[in-house]
């Protein structure tokens, strides 16, 4: 095989891999791998360090074998050229320690089944591959205050997916807080308890691609029929349906069929249903039929627990000081938290040094963009409700109770002040279905009152500080 042919095929592999794992994981573990040669049905690839080699062998070997099996052929073997001494450019040649297993073979068949069933990369084989990630289980989903309710609901769904009041289960939260992990954990537990159930995890983006393929190939009926056979459907990042009217219409009919037949639906999203502008009202209503549960950003205690669990699981040697530093400074998401630890370990391994606080500080300062966070109306409402001890429902109600009215006016004022290009009408629609004149009056009232009411000014300053520091 010529070098241009090899490089072209490897780009195909990287494209498939990048579609099946988070972007941060792809950049960390695969972006710097390059192909060396393909001889005697063996693919040789260059790995930047021993740590990267070990991590891929433990966490991604099935995906890697499935991918090269699709692109280079099912009987392809794998060899690594591992850089062990960067200064002297020393490499060690190592064979994969994990040869093809029946599971890997099935995944390879799934990846190459472009003309079988409704998908391009979906696993449509006689015994449906649920496309679940085996390392995303309940056992390593660390519980904390920020995810206690969603986890409990997920476990309830897993134990009894046919007759569960949480149907659908709608999980929402910002990127990287564990939504994908929980979806997979639910699917894995269902398969463990009910092996014969047809469980499928799919991203909303992939569902949309599948739908367009089905329309183009005139196989839409087969596409719908396939999804109507699923017992537990797990759809990730449902916000990808925004603006895709025809995809929404098809999903609406699939949703109705599954729900009416007692099949379980679990969805994840980066926002609550009410914030999904561009999704049909009839779908929004159905999203709220079961349980809507937020997975919040992890607090310090949970971030520390997650790091400790990862260190124990991976058999890493990292001091408590380093773990404390990471937990205190990486606050946005679990994904960034684990990515920061991986980066520190990788740098320490490559440069043959201990992963100390100084190294952690340098890596994290390079990785974290210290830019002002975008404020959302959901953030404002949550902070206002917490400060005034009212519920979201009370805030949006018609109640004239003084505390609730004040909280409602403050939420409207802060939304107008801190959210770019938002109209009074949009704020009113979101907070209690009020008209734009009510919102304008509320903002004026708050501004005038702040001139003489120091308590109000102090409360608003505290809320602003909270939402801007999240």
Q: How many helices (H) and strands (E) does the chain have?
A: 21, 9
> Taking the domains of the chain in order of start, what are their residue ranges?
3-107, 114-294, 300-367, 377-469
Which numeric CATH code is attached to 3-107?
3.30.300.180
Cβ atoms 54, 29 nearer than 8 A: no
Q: Name 93's bridge partners.
A: 81
Domain 114-294 class? alpha beta
Q: Name 34's bridge partners.
A: 46
User: Which tokens in the block code for residue 20?
Assistant: 């099946």
| Residue 359 parent element (H or E) | helix 357-367
Is the pTM value of this prediction over 0.75?
Answer: no
Q: Name 268's bridge partners.
A: 171
SS3 state at 260: helix
Domain 300-367 has CATH 1.10.8.60: yes
The CA distance from 195 to 197, in Å, is: 6
Cβ atoms 369, 422 nearer than 8 A: no
Q: What is the pLDDT along the chain (470 residues), one digit of tens a residue?
A: 788 889 989 999 998 988 888 887 788 888 889 999 998 889 999 988 777 887 888 788 888 888 998 898 888 888 888 875 555 556 677 776 655 443 444 444 444 333 333 433 333 334 578 889 988 999 989 888 888 999 999 999 999 997 788 999 999 998 888 899 999 999 999 999 999 899 999 999 999 999 998 898 888 888 998 999 999 999 999 999 998 899 999 999 999 999 999 999 999 999 999 888 889 999 999 999 999 999 988 888 888 888 888 888 777 778 888 888 888 888 777 888 888 888 888 888 877 888 888 888 888 887 665 445 567 888 899 999 999 999 989 998 999 999 999 999 999 999 999 887 788 888 998 898 888 889 999 999 999 898 888 889 889 988 988 887 65
DSSP string across 91-121? EEEEE-SS---HHHHHHHHHHT-TTSSS-SS
Q: In whole angstroms, how large is the CA radius of gyration of the chain?
A: 25
Domain 377-469 class? mainly alpha
């Amino acid at each position: 095989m010529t070098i241009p042919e090899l490089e072209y095929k490897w780009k195909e592999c990287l494209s498939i891999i990048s579609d099946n794992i988070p972007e941060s994981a792809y950049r960390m573990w695969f972006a710097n791998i390059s192909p060396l040669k393909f001889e005697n049905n063996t693919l040789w690839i260059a790995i930047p360090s021993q740590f990267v080699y070990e991590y891929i062998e433990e966490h991604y070997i099935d995906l890697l074998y499935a991918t090269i099996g699709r692109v280079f052929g099912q009987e392809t073997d794998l060899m690594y050229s591992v850089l062990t001494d960067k200064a002297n450019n020393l490499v060690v040649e190592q064979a994969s320690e994990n040869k093809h297993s029946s599971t890997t073979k099935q995944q390879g068949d799934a990846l190459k089944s472009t003309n079988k069933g409704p998908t391009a990369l979906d696993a449509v084989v006689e015994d449906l591959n649920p496309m679940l990630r085996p390392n995303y289980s309940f056992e390593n989903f660390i519980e904390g205050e920020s995810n206690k309710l969603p986890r409990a609901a997920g476990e309830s769904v897993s134990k009894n997916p046919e007759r569960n009041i949480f149907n659908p289960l709608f999980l929402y939260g910002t990127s990287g807080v564990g939504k994908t992990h929980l979806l997979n954990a639910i699917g894995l537990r269902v398969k463990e308890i009910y092996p014969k159930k047809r469980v499928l995890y799919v991203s909303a983006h992939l569902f949309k691609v599948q739908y367009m393929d089905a329309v183009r190939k005139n196989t839409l009926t087969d596409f719908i029929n396939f999804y109507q056979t699923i017992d537990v459907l797990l759809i990730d990042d449902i916000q990808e349906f925004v603006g895709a009217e025809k995809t929404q219409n098809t999903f609406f009919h699939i949703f109705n069929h599954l729900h009416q037949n007692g099949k379980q639906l679990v969805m994840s999203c980066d926002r609550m249903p009410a914030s999904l502008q561009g999704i049909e009202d009839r779908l929004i209503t159905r999203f709220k039929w079961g349980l809507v549960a937020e997975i919040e950003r992890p607090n310090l205690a949970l971030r520390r627990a997650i790091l400790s669990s990862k260190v124990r699981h991976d058999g890493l040697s990292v001091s408590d000081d380093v773990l404390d530093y990471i937990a205190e400074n990486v606050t946005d998401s679990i994904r960034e938290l684990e990515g920061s630890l991986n980066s520190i370990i990788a740098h320490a391994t490559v440069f043959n040094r201990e992963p100390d606080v100084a190294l952690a500080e340098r890596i994290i300062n390079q990785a974290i963009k210290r830019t002002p966070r975008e404020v959302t109306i959901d953030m404002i409402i949550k902070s206002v409700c917490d400060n005034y001890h009212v519920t979201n429902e009370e805030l949006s109600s018609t109640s004239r109770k003084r505390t609730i009215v004040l909280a409602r006016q403050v939420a409207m004022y802060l939304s107008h002040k801190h959210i770019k290009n938002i109209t009074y009408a949009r704020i009113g629609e979101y907070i209690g279905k009020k008209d734009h004149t009510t919102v304008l009056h509320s903002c004026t009232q708050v501004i005038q009152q702040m001139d003489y009411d120091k308590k109000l000014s102090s409360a608003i300053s505290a809320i602003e500080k909270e939402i801007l520091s999240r």
